[in-house]
């Protein structure tokens, strides 16, 4: 009798089964973790509830999509180079006049095109302007898995590429070409669960990495491989359309967990499984601000 009482009083130390995280769900049944869908950490009972959670979250995020404003608190690049003694004031005036007459192109582009500065000098000046280091991207190989930590659409849109991953510090170094959008880097950190450390690299090296990701042949005639785990969209979309798209890919690829973040004018959805993931990048086109422009030739 005593033994029977001991066994009946014993309960295994198992985590409690939580109900569906969709408040409008009518099932209200306990969900084991292995069978649940998840959106941003909320456990859901079905693809329909997954889509409902995605639509509600995207409806909250979509109004925040906007291009990053041009930074106004930093010394202009040309003046910085003149102050540091790397550029003559007359050469800067001539480059500014050419830029104004053309109506396009960053000042670094015109300084190199007119022969007043080299690409490496522009890169070093950008690094000083933003308080970052210079990364030797052309001389450094990057593992394919590291190159694909960020969607190609975001790499192209922000003019940056993953350069090096320090696993011990869980830090991803990203090489920038023209400038830094801090808010976008913070969003990428939230999605990846890593620290992103920006640095600068020669524009030609960044462009070569981006061309390799896009499957475009570089100057040496070598063709890169396009990312197989990504889809991007550049047309107007609603929260319902975005949620339906995320649900379709998640069901098709059997990826039961997803979350979304906004990166300036991009909305990034990552659907993840145990060992793989698929990225959806939705771009709401706006007039491009002056923060980015054509890379150095």
| CA distances for 294 relative to 25, 70, 111, 179, angstroms | 49, 15, 13, 12
Per CATH, the architecture of 132-228 is what?
Answer: 2-Layer Sandwich (3.30)
Give the per-residue pLDDT at 20. Answer: 85
**pLDDT value at position 3?**
46
Domain range summary for the chain, segments of one domain joined by +: 27-64+229-288, 77-129, 132-228
Model pLDDT, residue 26: 79
Is 183 exposed, middle or buried, given 0-12, 13-18 or 19+ CB atoms closer than 10 A? middle
Spell out, as residue ranges, where the chain has pLDDT lower than 50: 1, 3, 5, 7-8, 10, 216-226, 287-297
Helix (H, G, I), strand (E, B) or coil at 238: coil
Query: Please, which residues bridge with residue 173 across strands?
Result: 164, 197
Query: Which pLDDT belongs to residue 278?
Result: 95
């Amino acid at each position: 009798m005593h033994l029977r009482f001991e066994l009946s009083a014993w309960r295994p130390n198992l985590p409690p089964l939580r109900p569906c995280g969709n408040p409008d769900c009518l099932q209200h049944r306990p969900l084991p973790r292995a069978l649940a869908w998840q959106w941003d950490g909320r456990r859901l009972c079905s693809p329909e509830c997954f889509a409902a959670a995605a639509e509600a979250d995207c409806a909250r995020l979509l109004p925040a999509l906007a291009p990053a404003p041009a930074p106004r608190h930093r010394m202009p690049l040309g003046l910085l180079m003149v102050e540091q003694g790397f550029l003559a004031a007359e050469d800067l005036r001539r480059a500014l006049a050419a830029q104004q007459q053309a109506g396009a192109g960053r000042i670094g582009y015109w300084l190199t095109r007119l022969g007043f500065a080299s690409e490496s000098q522009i890169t070093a000046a950008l690094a000083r302007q933003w308080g970052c280091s210079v990364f030797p991207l052309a001389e450094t190989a990057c593992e394919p898995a590291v190159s694909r930590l960020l969607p190609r659409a975001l790499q192209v849109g922000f003019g940056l590429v993953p350069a090096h991953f320090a696993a011990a510090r869980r830090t991803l170094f990203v090489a920038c070409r023209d400038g830094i959008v801090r808010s976008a880097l913070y969003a990428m950190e939230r999605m990846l669960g890593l620290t992103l450390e920006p640095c600068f690299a020669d524009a030609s090296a960044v462009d070569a990495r981006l061309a390799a990701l896009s499957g475009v042949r570089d100057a040496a005639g070598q063709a890169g491989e396009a990312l197989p785990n990504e889809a991007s969209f550049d047309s107007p979309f609603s929260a319902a359309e975005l949620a339906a798209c995320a649900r379709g890919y998640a069901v098709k690829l059997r990826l039961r967990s997803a979350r979304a973040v906004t990166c300036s004018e991009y909305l990034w959805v990552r659907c993840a499984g145990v060992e793989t993931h698929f990225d959806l990048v939705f771009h709401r086109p706006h007039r491009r601000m002056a923060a980015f422009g054509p890379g150095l030739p």
